[in-house]
Amino acid sequence: MVESEYGDKFSRVGSQARGADARAAFVASQAYLNQNVSGFFYRWGGLLSSTLIRIRSRFRGDLDQYLIYLVFLLNDLSREISTRSLPAGRRPEARGLNALSIAEITGIPRETARRKLQMLVAEGYVERAFDGLYYLGDRYGLDQFFFDLSPLFCDGVRLDGEPSPQAVEPQP
C-alpha cells in the first residue's frame, strides 16, 4: 500500500505480484505511461471533465452534494458486488452512514456534510432511516447513474480506433 500526499491509500500496479513478476509488472506499467503521458492525461482529463459536467447539472453545480451522493452510490455498489459471491437469495444488509462518517470519508466539514445530507434527503437522493443513518434513496440509483454515464464509461474502456458505442434508450 502507498499513501498519497492527501492520506489516500492505494495499491501500486503489480504490487500483488512477488519478485520478478512484480518488477515486470512495474516496468510494463511505467513503459505504458512513459510512451504517451500527455495522451493518457488528455483522455483521462477529458473523461473526468465530461463526467463532472454531466453530474454538475444534476446537482445544480454543487459538487460537494455529488461527492456525498457518490459515497452512497459506491456503498451500494459494494453491496451489489459482494452479493455475487453469496449463495442465491442471500444479500448483505445495507450499511447506513452518519454525517460524521461522511465528513471523514469526503473531507467535507461535518456541519457542511450534515447540511448537504439534508438537501440530498429533501431531493430524494438519500433517505434517512429510523435508525438515524442515511442510505441511498430511490431518485437516482445505480442503474440510472450507470445508464446516464454509460457513453463516458464506454469511451474510457474502448481501444483506440474502435468506434464509441452509443447508449440505448430504455423502452417504457
Decide if 165 is inside a domain: no
How many beta carbons lie within 10 A of that of residue 163, not counting itself?
7
Question: Mean of the pLDDT values across residues 73-98?
Answer: 80
Give the number of domains in the chain. 2
Domain shared by 146 and 106, yes or no: yes
Contact present, 148 and 53 (Cβ < 8 Å): no
Please state the pTM of the whole predicted model: 0.64
Distances (CA, A) of 95 to 80, 92, 115: 12, 9, 21
Domain shared by 29 and 96, yes or no: no
Question: Mean of the pLDDT values across residues 133-144?
Answer: 86
17 or 60, higher pLDDT: 60
Please state, in angstroms and rounded to a whole number, the distance separating the CA atoms of residues 131 and 129: 5
Is the pLDDT at 98 greater than 90, yes or no? yes
Domain shared by 29 and 90, yes or no: no
Question: Mean of the pLDDT values across residues 116-124?
Answer: 95
- H or E element at residue 171: none
Output the pLDDT for position 70: 92
Domain residues for the domain of 12 are 1-35
